[in-house]
Structure 1
Amino acid sequence: MTTTVAEDLLEPLARTPRLLVALDFDGTLSPLQNEPMDARMLPAARRCVEALAALPDTVVALVSGRSLRDLRVIAEHDDASPLWLAGSHGAEYWQPGVGAIEPHEDPEEVALRDRLRALAEEATRGMAGVWIEPKTFGLGVHTRRADAVTAEHADRVVDDIVRAHAPAWRRRTGHNILEYAFRHEGKDTAVRTLRERAGASAVLFAGDDVTDEDAIRSLGRDDLGVRVGPGETAATVTVADIAAFADLLDVLARMRGRALGVASD
C-alpha cells in the first residue's frame, strides 16, 4: 500500500472531531511469541501509539483477548498511561482517570471455570508444547510450541471436556490457540463500548486474527478496518506486517497532528 493511498484513506480519520484508534496487541503491535507473556510492542509501533495518544481528541485503546491483568503486563501499562484497554474480548476495561472497570463475577461460574481449567491441565499433562492459559472468564489452549498431531489432540481433548461440562461457553479459535469463556463478549463489543465511552466520531480498528474480524465487520462507513498480515478479511486495508502497520500509524499521527494544528517533528 503506497503512502498516497494511505493518506487518501486516512484523511477522514485525521480530520474527524474525536478519533478512537483501537488496536489488537498480539500480531498487530507485537510479534507472536512462543511464550505469550514475552510479547512486547515493537519499538516503532510503540512510538506511533504514543504519538497518537498524545494528540488532542484522540483516544488510543488496546483491545485483546488477554485478561486485563496480563494485557497490562505485556503492554507495560501503568496507572499514568494515557492508553485505554479492553481485555477478555471486551469484558474488562481500563480507562485513564477511572482505572479498572470489571464485571461482577458469579461464584458458580468462577467455580466451574476453575474446575474446567484443572481438568484441561490434567488431560494435557505430558503433551509437549501444550500450555493451558488461565483467563479471567475461562481458559485458553496454547499449542504454538507443539507439533501438529499433538496440537490437534490437545484441542480435541479440551473440546470434549468443555462440551461435556459447559456447552454454552463461547469457543474461539486463533493463531495456535483455542479459547473458551463463560462470557460472550467479542471485540465488536469492545469497539462499541470504547466508542461510546470515548465519544468517538470515527474509529480505526486493526487486527491480525479471526477474533478481530468481529470488530472489523462491526465498523461503520466513517470508520476504517485494517488487517495486519495475510488471511481472509472484511477490512478495507491490508498491510503486510507489524512494521508496515507502524508506518501507517505514523502517517495517521502526522496527518492528524497537522489537521489539529499540532506541531510535528
Structure 2
Amino acid sequence: MTGLDERIRSVASARRLLVALDFDGTLSPLVADPMSARATPAATRVVERLSRLDGVTVALVSGRSLRDLRIIAEHGDDSGVWLVGSHGSERWTPSGGLASAAADPGSAAIRARAETIAAAFEGAWIEDKTFGFALHTRTSTAEAEAGAHDAVDALMRDAAPQWRRREGKHVLEFSWRHEGKDTAVAELRAELGADAVVFAGDDVTDEDALRSLGDGDLGIRVGEGDTAAHTRVDNIGGLVDVLDRIAEVRASWSTPE
C-alpha cells in the first residue's frame, strides 16, 4: 500500500489534476437494464467532493451516448463535472455545452438488421447508440450469448467491416467512429493543461486509457481482469476509498498561484 500512498500524494499535489472515471461498473453497479444504472451514493459524494477542489477537473468518460450518460449520471446543466460520451466522440463541458460529431446516414439500416438478429436469441437486445449500436446479452444463457455474438459479428463483417468492434462484459459494441478512451483522456489532458491524470475503469474498453497513462499518473482497475493499471481495487467501494484519499490530500495542499 506504500507505493499507492506515494502515488496518491504525487497526483494529488499536481498543479492541475484531471480525474477521469468510467461510469458503468466503476461508479455504478452493472445492471441488466442499462438505463436504470446509477452511481452509488458514496461514489456520487466523492465525485462532487473532487469536482469542488481548486485545480481539479472531474470527467466521466464512458462508452454510453452522451444523452444516456447525462440521464444515468443525473447530470444537470449546473454541474461542474465534464462528460465524454461514445468513447470520446461526444462531450459536454461546463462552459461549452454539447459537442458531437454528425451521424452516419447508413447506420440506421445496419442497426435494424442487428435488431432482427438479436431478437432470435433469448435475452439478447440491441441498444441504439449515437455512432452505432451495442448488443447486450447480460440475461442470456451462455449458448444464446455465443450465438448472438457470432451472428452479429457475421453481419458486421459483411455490412460494415470498417466499423470499430469493442467487446466488454456481456456486451458487444460496434461504432463507425474510431475514437477510444485513450484519445479522449489525451485530449482532456491537453485542453486542461493537466499535470497528472487519475483514470479508473472496470472493463476491456478502459484498458486503452489505462495503457496510455504515464509514470506521473494513477490508473485504477476496478475488479478482475488483465490490466495495465498501476493499482487494482475490488469494487466501487474500494475506488471510493482511493478517491477520498486523493481528495483529502488535495484539500490539505494549497494550489500555487
Q: Does TM-score exceed 0.5, indicating one fold?
A: yes
TM-score normalised according to structure 2 size: 0.97
Structure 2 residue matching 1:70: 3-state secondary structure: helix
The answer on 1:196 being equivalent to 2:190 is yes
Question: Cα distance, 1:126 vs. partner?
Answer: 4.0
Q: Which amino acid aligns with 1:188?
A: D
Question: Cα distance, 1:119 vs. partner?
Answer: 0.3
The answer on 1:225 being equivalent to 2:223 is no
Q: Distance in 2 between matches of 1:136 and 1:104?
A: 9
Q: Which amino acid aligns with 2:214?
A: G
Q: Which amino acid aligns with 1:20?
A: L
Query: Is the 2:87–2:179 Cα contact (8 Å) retained in structure 1?
Result: yes
Partner of 2:202: 208
Partner of 1:53: 51
**Cα-to-partner distance string for 1:55-96 (whole Å, 9 max, x where unaligned):** 011000000000000000000001101000110001111111
Q: Distance in 1 between matches of 2:174 and 2:49?
A: 35
Query: Is the 2:167–2:205 Cα contact (8 Å) retained in structure 1?
Result: yes
**Cα-to-partner distance string for 1:158-196 (whole Å, 9 max, x where unaligned):** 111111011111000001000000010000011011112
Partner of 2:127: 133
Q: Distance in 2 between matches of 1:14 and 1:257?
A: 9
Q: Distance in 2 between matches of 1:125 and 1:220?
A: 44
Q: Distance in 2 between matches of 1:135 and 1:194?
A: 22
Structural mapping, 1:1-80, within 5 Å: 2=1, 4-80=2-78
Q: Distance in 2 between matches of 1:260 and 1:243?
A: 28
4+ long deviations beyond 2 Å: 4-7
Q: Which amino acid aligns with 2:12?
A: A
Q: Which amino acid aligns with 1:64?
A: S
Bigger shift: residues 218-227 or 27-36: 218-227
Q: Distance in 2 between matches of 1:83 and 1:209?
A: 22
Structural RMSD (CA): 1.1
Partner of 2:160: 166
Q: Distance in 2 between matches of 1:97 and 1:225?
A: 27
Aligned residues: 255
Question: Cα distance, 1:5 vs. partner?
Answer: 4.7
Query: Is the 1:6–1:248 Cα contact (8 Å) retained in structure 2?
Result: no
**Cα-to-partner distance string for 1:138-160 (whole Å, 9 max, x where unaligned):** 01000001010001111111111
Unaligned runs of 5+ in 2: none
The answer on 1:238 being equivalent to 2:232 is yes
Aligned pair partner of 2:81 in 80, 83, 86: 83
**Cα-to-partner distance string for 1:209-265 (whole Å, 9 max, x where unaligned):** 11100001111121111101111101111011100110111111011000127xxxx
Q: Distance in 1 between matches of 2:27 and 2:50?
A: 14
Structure 2 residue matching 1:211: 3-state secondary structure: helix
Q: Which amino acid aligns with 2:8?
A: L
Q: Which amino acid aligns with 1:192?
A: A
**Cα-to-partner distance string for 1:19-50 (whole Å, 9 max, x where unaligned):** 00000000110000000111100111111110
Query: Is the 1:62–1:86 Cα contact (8 Å) retained in structure 2?
Result: yes
Partner of 2:248: 254
Bigger shift: residues 7-16 or 79-88: 7-16
- Identity score, percent: 53
Structure 1 residue matching 2:204: 3-state secondary structure: coil
Q: Distance in 2 between matches of 1:235 and 1:74?
A: 26
Structural mapping, 1:138-149, within 5 Å: 138-149=132-143
**Cα-to-partner distance string for 1:78-124 (whole Å, 9 max, x where unaligned):** 1101000110001111111211111233xxxx232101110011112
Structural mapping, 1:115-130, within 5 Å: 115-130=109-124
Q: Distance in 2 between matches of 1:125 and 1:175?
A: 20
Q: Distance in 2 between matches of 1:199 and 1:96?
A: 16
Structure 2 residue matching 1:178: 3-state secondary structure: strand
Query: Is the 2:118–2:135 Cα contact (8 Å) retained in structure 1?
Result: no
Partner of 2:179: 185
